[in-house]
């Protein structure tokens, strides 16, 4: 029995971890205070010096070493358990549906791969992994769905990734848990978990002006990106990468940086490279890319990232269109 409903497999694992932590903490608390009470009674005023001396002579350090070592090992095991849950929470499956979430005083803006948009509402299918790409347009927010036991800071100008698989249909509350201004208490939304059939029907009935990738493709041309970056169809010379790196196959590949490091070009990499190119230095090119911070809104960036993902044919197409 839990205080909050469990709407995902991750929620059950978090509850078990917290229950284990509470039980072990109470056991250690009882042991420590039990020994304190025992010693207070043994060495209380009025006991003879001979009795106290005899008890002191039979003291064993092995007992203290044993229980201290045991609690250390147990809590270290809890640490490894929590670390595993934390790492898994940031590694979405390859077939996860990507949904873009933008925090703004004082609302949540949701964009789906098929071009559907919502304000303060999030629809997901049950039994399917969903990856949320979180960002903010103004201040720091915090995205929290207690029923799923997920919570993550939402930072301006950066993508944060979070994923889950909902296991229970119904409606659940979504909150901002970081004070973000006078209207913070109103920054709530509703998560609706639907079965596969109902979700497909909702996607078909929700208004959309074209998929995110289609909007991003038009934006790629209109913003002048195609003048330097090859994207198979829109480039001065699809084989010329002397001015700028090709976008074909970039998403999901490993990119070598100027400092010698190699990182995976995920959605966060693409987003940050558009906003702050100097912070993502690659090999030397003939041109230097300007920053689009303040030029493109987060909605536009989401569309561009969705389009660039389609240029990596080796990866599975985005679900949810």
Residue with tokens 């890319």: 289
Between CA 280 and CA 44 the distance in angstroms is: 68
Pairing, β 129-136 against β 141-145? unpaired
What are the distances in angstroms from CA 175 to CA 53, 74, 188? Answer: 61, 34, 5
Contact by Cβ (8 Å): 138, 110: no
Q: What is the pLDDT along the chain (321 residues), one digit of tens a residue?
A: 456 677 888 888 888 888 888 998 898 899 889 988 887 877 776 666 666 666 666 666 777 788 788 888 988 998 998 898 888 888 888 889 999 999 999 999 999 988 899 999 999 999 999 999 999 999 999 999 999 999 999 999 888 889 999 999 999 999 999 999 999 999 999 999 999 999 999 998 888 777 888 888 888 888 888 777 777 655 445 455 556 778 888 888 888 776 677 888 888 888 888 887 754 454 555 567 888 888 888 888 888 898 888 888 655 444 444
pTM, entire model: 0.75
Q: Which domains does the chain have, with CATH numbers?
A: 9-90 (no CATH), 97-205 (2.60.40.420), 212-310 (1.10.760.10)
């Amino acid at each position: 029995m839990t205080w909050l409903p469990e709407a995902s497999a991750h929620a059950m694992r978090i509850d078990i971890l917290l229950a284990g932590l509470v039980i072990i903490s109470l056991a250690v608390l009882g042991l420590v205070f039990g020994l304190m009470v025992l010693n207070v009674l043994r060495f209380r005023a009025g006991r003879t010096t001979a009795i106290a001396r005899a008890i002191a002579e039979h003291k064993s350090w092995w007992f203290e070493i044993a229980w201290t070592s045991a609690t250390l090992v147990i809590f270290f095991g809890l640490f490894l358990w929590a670390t595993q849950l934390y790492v898994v929470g940031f590694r979405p499956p390859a077939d996860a549906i990507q949904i873009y979430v933008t925090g703004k005083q004082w609302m949540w803006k949701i964009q789906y791969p098929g071009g559907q948009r919502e304000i303060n509402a999030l629809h997901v299918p049950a039994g399917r992994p969903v990856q949320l790409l979180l960002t903010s347009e103004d201040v720091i927010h915090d995205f929290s769905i207690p029923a799923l036991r997920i919570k993550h800071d939402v930072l301006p100008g950066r993508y944060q990734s979070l994923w889950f698989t909902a296991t229970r249909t119904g409606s659940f509350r979504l909150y901002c848990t970081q004070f973000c201004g006078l209207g913070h208490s109103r920054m709530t939304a509703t998560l609706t978990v639907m079965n596969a059939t109902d979700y497909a029907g909702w996607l078909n009935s929700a208004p959309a002006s074209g998929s995110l990738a289609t909007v991003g493709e038009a934006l790629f041309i209109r913003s002048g990106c195609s003048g330097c970056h090859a994207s198979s169809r829109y480039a001065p010379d699809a084989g010329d990468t002397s001015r700028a790196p090709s976008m074909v196959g970039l998403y999901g590949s490993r990119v070598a940086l100027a400092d010698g490091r190699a990182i995976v070009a995920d959605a966060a990499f693409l987003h940050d490279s558009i906003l702050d190119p100097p912070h993502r230095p690659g090999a030397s090119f003939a041109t230097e890319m300007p920053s689009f911070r303040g030029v493109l809104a987060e909605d536009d960036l989401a569309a561009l990232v969705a389009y660039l993902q389609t240029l990596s044919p080796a990866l599975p197409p985005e679900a949810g269109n």
